[in-house]
Amino acid sequence: MTNSSTMEPRLLILGGSILQIPAILEARALGIPTAVLDYDPHCRGRYLADRFFLASTNNPEAVLACARSFQATGIMTLCTDWPMRSVAYASEALNLCSISYEAACVSTNKLDMIRALEKAGLSHPWYVLVNGRTPALEMVRDLPLPCIIKPVDSSGSRGVVLIRSQEQWPQALAYSATFARTGEVLIEEFMEGPEVSVEILILSGEPHVLAITDKTTTGYPHFVETCHVQPSSLAPADQEAIRTLAKASCRALNLTTGAAHVEIILTKEGPKLVEVGPRMGGDFIATHLVPLSTGINMTELTIREALGEHPVLPESVPRAACIRYIHRGPGRYKRVQNLGEVQTLPGVLDVHINLPENHLIGELKSSHDRLGHIIVQAETAAQAWAWAQSADESLQIIMEHETL
Look at residue 403 in the predicted model and tell me its pLDDT: 63
* pLDDT surpassing 90 at residue 154: no
Look at residue 2 in the predicted model and tell me its pLDDT: 46
Between the two ends of the chain, the Cα-to-Cα distance in Å is 50
* pLDDT surpassing 80 at residue 48: yes
Phi, then psi, of 11 in degrees rounded to 5: -110, 130
What does the pLDDT look like over 274-307, one tens digit per residue?
999 999 999 999 999 999 999 999 999 999 999 9
Closest to 265 measured CA to CA, from 342, 188, 185, 341:
188
Look at residue 4 in the predicted model and tell me its pLDDT: 44
Residue, of 357 and 1, whose pLDDT is higher: 357
Domains assigned to the chain? 11-98 (3.40.50.20), 105-120+192-318 (3.30.470.20), 127-189 (3.30.1490.20), 321-400 (3.30.470.20)
Closest to 244 measured CA to CA, from 123, 347, 359:
123
Tell me the one-letter amino acid at 365. Answer: K
CA distances from 147 to 125, 192, 198 (A): 10, 11, 24
* Helix (H) or strand (E) run with residue 175 in it: helix 169-177
Cis peptide before 207 (omega within 30 of 0): no
Look at residue 181 in the predicted model and tell me its pLDDT: 83
DSSP state of 183: S
Residues 6 or more apart in contact with residue 37 via CB below 8 angstroms: 12, 13, 14, 15, 16, 52, 53, 54, 55, 57, 62, 63, 66
Residue 190 exposed, middle or buried by CB count within 10 Å (0-12, 13-18, 19+): middle
Share of the chain above pLDDT 70, in %: 97
Look at residue 192 in the predicted model and tell me its pLDDT: 94
